[in-house]
Amino acid sequence: MQFTKMHGIGNDFIIIDGFRQAIHDPSALAVKLCDRRFGIGADGLIVAAPSTVADARMRIFNRDGSEPEMCGNGIRCLGKFLYDSGICRKLAMTVETRAGVLALALEQDGGTVKRLKVDMGAPCFDPGQIPVASGSNRLTLDVEGHALRFFCVSMGNPHAVTFDLYPGDDLFHRLGPLLERHEVFPRRANIEFCRVNATGGADVRVWERGDGPTLACGTGACAVLAAGASLGLLPRAATIALPGGALDILWADDGRLYMTGPAETVFTGEV
């Protein structure tokens, strides 16, 4: 089986061409291949597949085999893969996801796709749609003696954003799994710990549902901007700094969030 290893600011993926190769159990394959000691190593496995409603379909599987609705860094990597592999030689393409069909604009430098802008859609604040088991998307959760206020957002997948704490490593690794699986989140949640920085953007540490700590999260960066702007802490256009790099997020007048960032190919191989 041929594969391509890619990353978007350190959030890394194994891309499989499902147009030319049959993938029978992608969930089990993700667990096997994403293992960093006994496999290739990645935050997730992405299958590029045919679509009847878009240029391609993205199926993404976390390291634990679970299938999330969407992945912002993953979709940028997939867009570059589709272009570079010749599957879709368009600088404007559409990709079907479990969160809907998203539009991508590819930016070239010297004929090579370097950055991609993705229309991530409108943020959802409806607690029933996120989902959260509460009458409001604004929650206060008590965990290990910390009372943290969260602003919850769906970007096709559930996010809980707090500006109350930007933890060090030990606390981050203790609180992350407890919050991800907190009973208030019926489908678990991605957790973003944030602080406003000197540039007017935000520094973010992400604990991803099904993956744990990752260097970046594209849907998370969008959720942070939507939460921060709603709370009056961030402007509607800002740079969101994550451990692996930065993403430019715009909450446009049309109500939709646009994410711009890089995607890079690391290597190709056969397994």
- Work out the burial of residue 232: count CB atoms within 10 Å of its CB; fewer than 13 is exposed, 13-18 middle, 19 or more buried: exposed
Q: Supply the DSSP symbol for 124.
A: B
Type of residue found at 160: A
Question: What distance in Å separates the CA atoms of residue 176 and residue 212, rounded to the nearest whole number?
Answer: 7
Q: How many alpha carbons lie under 13 Å from residue 115 in its C-beta half-sphere?
A: 10
Residue 107 and residue 115 in contact, taking contact as beta carbons nearer than 8 Å: yes
Instruction: Mention every residue, 6+ apart, whose C-beta is less than 8 A from residue 264.
Output: 6, 7, 8, 80
Sign of CA dihedral 255, 224, 123, 135: negative
Q: Is the Cβ–Cβ distance between 149 and 180 less than 8 Å?
A: no
List, by residue number, the catalytic residues: 71, 217
Q: How far is CA 256 from the centre of its chain?
A: 16
Distance in angstroms (rounded) separating the CA atoms of residues 23 and 46:
11
d(CA 176, CA 49): 32
